[in-house]
Structure 1
Amino acid sequence: MGGLLFYDWNTLPFVILALIISFTVHEWAHAYSAFKLGDNTAYKFGRVSLNPMVHLDLFGTIMLLLAGFGWAKPVPVNRGNFKRPRLYGIIVTAAGPLSNLIMAFISLFVLVLCQKYGWLDGMSKGSGDAIIQFLNKMISINITLFLFNLIPIPPLDGYRIIQDLVDFRYTEAVQKFEQWASVIFLLVVFVGPLRRVTLDPYLGLGNDILRFFLKWIAKILGI
């Protein structure tokens, strides 16, 4: 921890850069997939863009630095423009977390390549260490964002997927859950003992994802 910050001061520049990239690509993936599937709402708002300024939410970014969780600006989607609203809605919602998973894999792959082939050996120690720090933050942050966004609590992506998956007969029951969701969310995040037995073990699944990725990278590179 760095005082009030969730992250250490020494790694803060790499955290901020990784967060900007990760949040931007996550929201762009929502917007781009919606646009390609027939809804131009996000396009009209300028969200089909990799410009961080159109995606980042100031308070959401500050909360991530302070508490270890945060958010970007929600991408506006009009499911009425989709030929298959529920299916396409799931695809658009899942595109965000999947983009984080892909970025984590790519970052890990590049890190392994650097270590295997000594791509950083010719650099100064400071420059090489900076690249490694950045790649490590890209890996950890994107895996965390992938898992965190799949939690079925509004306004997270996992809840939107559940909404599209659930039978219409249970829609009202699901909507009633929303009034308690923010309370549950805050309790899980900020109450230490509750977080340690719920959120932390769940996010710990990131280690299993890392091992799975490393297994496949080793097969690809023949190591």
Structure 2
Amino acid sequence: MFDFSSGRLLQIAIQLLAVVAILPIHEFAHAYIADKLGDTTARKMGRLTINPLHHLDLIGTVCLIFTGFGWAKPVIVDPGAFKNPKRGMAVVAAAGPISNLLLALVYMLIVKVLIVFFGGNDSGVGHFLIQIFYILTYISVSLAIFNLLPVPPLDGSRIAGLFLPDKAYFGLMRYERYISIAIFLLLFTGILSRPLSIVNGVVMNFLDFITQPVNLLAGLIH
């Protein structure tokens, strides 16, 4: 349906756009929910904003632009500020991937509206915009799925921790640094690419399905 062979320069440009359009939303979601649950750490550190300059990590940004995988500065959270620290950490962690999935839904809706507006033309400005928003949708989904892996330091480990005994949870967190190194190695060697791409495809198909009413509405209008 979409042609991704538009050149390396376009790919880098879209990934740069993702840096300012996706990563800050993810971190803001963490900060916002933590603040709502009583932890003002992120607010005091100036992270309660969608301004990319407050969230971006230099190395993570460069990696995202040139490899397609990157990260922002993690939001600092104080579990002691929550009435139930483990539950609070799980809710704050879940906010990031959920924000990415909601953002992906918005981008997919934009894709469908652009398709309706510009028709099936496979060239020109319309096709260019459709490709951009489709790739942004995919990047947002990818970030959500990756962060839901139940291994530290990813958000999924905090969510999984809600269902683990305290001893097992804190024991796992002791090895966070080593596990994160292992995850990065698996990513860069491509071992994780296949299973993650399968899950990403399932989610993309679901987003495509639930946004079909846009096409139906367009058909009724025309």
Structure 2 length-normalised TM: 0.84
Give the aligned partner of residue 48 of structure 2. Answer: 48
Give the aligned partner of residue 63 of structure 2. Answer: 63
How many angstroms does 1:22 deviate by?
0.3
Alpha-carbon spacing, 1:221–1:88, altered in 2? closer, same or farther (3 Å) = farther
How many angstroms does 1:62 deviate by?
0.9
How many angstroms does 1:221 deviate by?
5.5
CA contact (8 A) 2:22 2:100 kept: yes
CA contact (8 A) 1:189 1:199 kept: yes
Give the aligned partner of residue 144 of structure 2. Answer: 146
Give the aligned partner of residue 128 of structure 1. Answer: 126
Equivalent position to 2:203, from 206, 209, 217: 209
Q: What is the CA–CA distance in structure 1 between the aligned matches of 2:19 and 2:63, rounded to whole Å?
A: 12
Give the aligned partner of residue 114 of structure 2. Answer: 114
Equivalent position to 2:184, from 183, 186, 205: 186
Q: What is the CA–CA distance in structure 1 between the aligned matches of 2:163 and 2:28, rounded to whole Å?
A: 23
Q: What is the CA–CA distance in structure 2 between the aligned matches of 1:33 and 1:170, rounded to whole Å?
A: 26
Give the aligned partner of residue 104 of structure 1. Answer: 104
How many angstroms does 1:30 deviate by?
0.4
Map Cα deviations across residues 78-116 of structure 1 (whole Å, 9 max, x no partner).
111112222222111110111111111111111112212
Identity over the aligned pairs, expressed in percent?
35
Alpha-carbon spacing, 1:176–1:46, altered in 2? closer, same or farther (3 Å) = closer
SS of equivalent to 2:69: coil
What is the letter of the counterpart of residue 132 of structure 2? F
Unaligned stretches of 5+ residues in structure 1:
1-6
Alpha-carbon spacing, 1:160–1:199, altered in 2? closer, same or farther (3 Å) = farther
Give the aligned partner of residue 4 of structure 1. Answer: none
Give the aligned partner of residue 3 of structure 2. Answer: none
Give the aligned partner of residue 3 of structure 1. Answer: none
Give the aligned partner of residue 173 of structure 2. Answer: 175
CA RMSD of aligned residues (A): 2.2
Map Cα deviations across residues 17-66 of structure 1 (whole Å, 9 max, x no partner).
12211001000000011111111110000100011000000101111223
Q: What is the CA–CA distance in structure 2 between the aligned matches of 1:32 and 1:179, rounded to whole Å?
A: 26
Q: What is the CA–CA distance in structure 1 between the aligned matches of 2:105 and 2:207, rounded to whole Å?
A: 7
SS of equivalent to 2:211: helix
CA contact (8 A) 2:22 2:140 kept: yes
Determine if the alignment matches structure 1 residue 200 to structure 2 residue 202. no
Q: What is the CA–CA distance in structure 2 between the aligned matches of 1:128 and 1:220, rounded to whole Å?
A: 17
CA contact (8 A) 2:12 2:66 kept: no
Give the aligned partner of residue 156 of structure 2. Answer: 158
Give the aligned partner of residue 25 of structure 1. Answer: 25
What is the letter of the counterpart of residue 153 of structure 1? V
Give the aligned partner of residue 218 of structure 1. Answer: 212
Unaligned stretches of 5+ residues in structure 2:
1-6, 218-222
Q: What is the CA–CA distance in structure 1 between the aligned matches of 2:158 and 2:102, rounded to whole Å?
A: 21
